[in-house]
Chains A and B, each alone.
Chain A
Amino acid sequence: MSAIILRRLLQAIPVLFIVVTLTFLLVRSAPGNPFSTEKKIPPEIMEQLEKQYNLHGSIWSQYGQYLWKVAHGDLSLSTQYRNRSVNEIIAQTLPVSMTLGSLAYFLALLFGITFGAWAAVRHNRAGDRAIMLVALLGISIPTFVIAPVLVMIFALWFRVLPAYGWGSPDQILLPAVCLSIPFAAAIARLTRGSLLEVLKLDFIRTARAKGLSEDAVLFRHALKVAILPIIGYSGPAVAGILTGSIVIETLFGIPGIGPFFVNSALNFDPFMTSGVVIVFSLFLILFNLLADILYFVVDRRVKLE
């Protein structure tokens, strides 16, 4: 198994290489200048700036230098946030985004599995119908619509939660809930569907025939198997949370990586943009590998390829 994991990790290198190349060359060859936000910089100073940031010479030599640095773990200086290195910005913002994202994912799993299982047990009854309706609504309503609505209700109308900021637990709650909604809904639908299939299987009939209580059948036998598609969904879910958090961070003024990425893309900051794309891609590739390994460990019928 370790050989397979090693092979998958090695496979990630060319993928990352292509992504980095594409991003860097695109941003550098775009007609926008990373320094053009400042008004009329004299040419001498511009030259000096370009030298300082390694943006002089042909695009290929810039690319070569950048690649060399990235291979050594140095993501260069940000042209937009002067004198701050991309490494520094990411080290500062990534933990914030990770906290928000993992809390949202945890909430999505908690509510998704609970309500999904509950709906499956009450198959085709009113409770099931209601949960599935709410779940479809949860999938349909965009994060950037539900988030401002909840802000209006809880922060401005009832004034129970803050609308803005980051740091205290009550400031985390609203953004994490908003971010988790579509994924909780998707997980609830998955859990319900999968549990309904599992409950038809022979080993469940055996468990019931042994005289086990319905709760024991559900929690000790059925859910353990029914959980598999949720592991399969964890890759897309985490990718979705990653992009969704960009919106949530922007809306709630959270100092995560999202707003930095959007600003860097809009201002043609080649190093910040490429840096974030590298970090996001690496994170997702590793997470998908982890999910595959987990799937393999849990379900021995699956072959890890």
Chain B
Amino acid sequence: MKPLRDYYRVVRRDALLTVCALFLLLVLLVSFVGIYFTGYTYDQISDASLLPPSSHHWFGTDSNGHDLLTRTLFGARISLFVAAVGTLVSLTIGVTYGMISGYVGGRVDNIMMRLVEIIYSLPTLVLVIVLVTTLDRPVANLLKDLGWTAVNPRLVLIVGFLGLTEWLTMARIIRGQVLVLKQQPFVQASLALGQSHTQILWRHLFPNLLGIIIVYLTLTIPAIMLDESFMSFLHVGLQPPLASWGTLVSDAAFLINPIKLYWWMLIFPGGLMTLTLLALNFLGDGLRDALDPRVRK
């Protein structure tokens, strides 16, 4: 696919972007494969609690005696999973919404964009907290009835609702692009040839939007990751036995006291999370500057 090739080309040309991409690949690799080689499991409790980093526990241990390296990698996996699936949800909604709004135009476009503005002016994360805490048990019961006991209700709710809140920017940008694209002669030509609107949207407009979609995809992932960890930090997000970077930092932050510093509990998960977000933002920014036709250089 051409957009993916462009993506690759831009990243290769820039040393900094290459480093970011390689770092992200490394995080993925270590958290999905390396986690099995730490010598511990993520839920393995021991008496060795709150130990500083050593050759046995590279990242130290937490208050339950978990190996923090294993916990951090496990948290990485959950955080990355939530961000990836949440982004896919928001992407689907944002692209569909934006394409319809831009393509239909006129009154429909007006109403649809007004709705986006209204949602923009609401405290969406606060609403998500209400939704997740109240729907937790009903969804758990529903999943039990369906026999899907392996599925964590919290995870489903968080991924779903964060996806439902982070599509606004994508919808606006896609709409703007479609407004320009639909004036192009090839759209008129396809219409004259008797193609349906769905065909035009899907076969002609969508491929032209792919580049921009990939750029904003890269920027939505860190946004959702941040939202999830924010909620988990406040104990209204993911709950034990699941752990994300947010819950790990939360464990550390509420242990802070003037007598003893458990710095490793904060620095390792928090640091890895910050680096991951930084790499994603760098990539997104670099790609947007290079590929987004609306950004003038």
Contacts and interface: CB of A to CB of B under 8 A. Distances in A.
Interface of A: 11, 15, 19, 22-23, 26-27, 29-32, 136-137, 139-145, 147-149, 151-152, 155-156, 163, 197, 235-236, 239, 242-243, 246-247, 250-251, 261-262, 265-266, 268, 273, 276-277, 280-281, 284-285, 288
Ranked 6 nearest A-B pairs via Cβ = A145-B270, A30-B134, A140-B277, A140-B278, A288-B121, A148-B253
B249 interface: yes
Interface string B124-141: 111101110111011000
A155 B257 CA distance: 10
A266 B277 CA distance: 29
A19 B128 CA distance: 12
B234 A250 contact: yes
B130 A31 contact: no
B126 A156 contact: no
B130 A277 contact: yes
Contact of A23 (B127, B256, B267): B127
Interface in B54-110: none
A175 B289 CA distance: 34
Task: Determine the interface band of chain B, counting residues with CB < 8 A from chain A.
Answer: 35 or more
A265 B133 contact: yes
A281 B274 contact: no
Could you say which of B129, B267, B280 has the most chain A C-beta atoms within 10 Å of its C-beta? B129
B253 A19 contact: no
A276 B246 CA distance: 24
A241 B276 CA distance: 23
8 contacts: A31-B138, A147-B253, A148-B252, A148-B253, A156-B256, A235-B120, A247-B234, A288-B121
B1 interface: no
Prevailing SS type, chain A contact patch: helix
Nearest to B280: A140
A19 B127 contact: yes
Interface stretch (B27-35, B188-196, B225-233): B225-233
Interface string B142-177: 000000000000000000000000000000000000
Contacts of A261: 126, 129
A268 B134 contact: yes
Prevailing SS type, chain B contact patch: helix
A149 B270 contact: yes
B82 to A, nearest CB: 14
A66 B171 CA distance: 36
B261 interface: yes
Contacts of A141: 274, 277-278
Contacts of B129: 261-262, 265
Contacts of A268: 133-134
Contact of B278 (A137, A147, A242): A137
A236 B166 CA distance: 13
A273 B229 contact: no
Nearest to A136: B281
B222 interface: yes
Nearest to A16: B122
Nearest to B129: A265
A273 B126 CA distance: 10
B75 to A, nearest CB: 13
Contacts of A239: 121, 123-124
A156 B229 contact: no
Given A141-B277, A239-B123, 18 more contacts: A27-B134, A31-B138, A140-B278, A142-B229, A142-B249, A142-B270, A142-B277, A145-B274, A148-B252, A148-B270, A149-B270, A163-B256, A243-B125, A243-B230, A262-B235, A266-B236, A268-B133, A273-B130
Given A152-B261, A235-B120, A236-B120, A145 B266 contact: yes
B218 interface: no
Contacts of B236: 262, 265-266
Contacts of A235: 120-121
A277 B125 CA distance: 11
B180 interface: no
Nearest to A156: B258
B220 interface: no
Contacts of A26: 130-131, 134-135
B288 to A, nearest CB: 12
A183 B200 CA distance: 41
A259 to B, nearest CB: 9
Contacts of A246: 234
Contacts of B253: 144, 147-148, 251
A144 B281 CA distance: 18
Contacts of A250: 234
Contacts of A284: 121-123
Contacts of B261: 152, 156
A30 B135 contact: yes
A22 B123 CA distance: 14
Nearest to A259: B234
Nearest to B275: A140
B122 A262 contact: no
Contacts of A197: 296
Contacts of B120: 235-236, 288
Contact of A266 (B133, B249, B267, B273): B133
B230 A140 contact: no
Contact of A140 (B133, B134, B274): B274
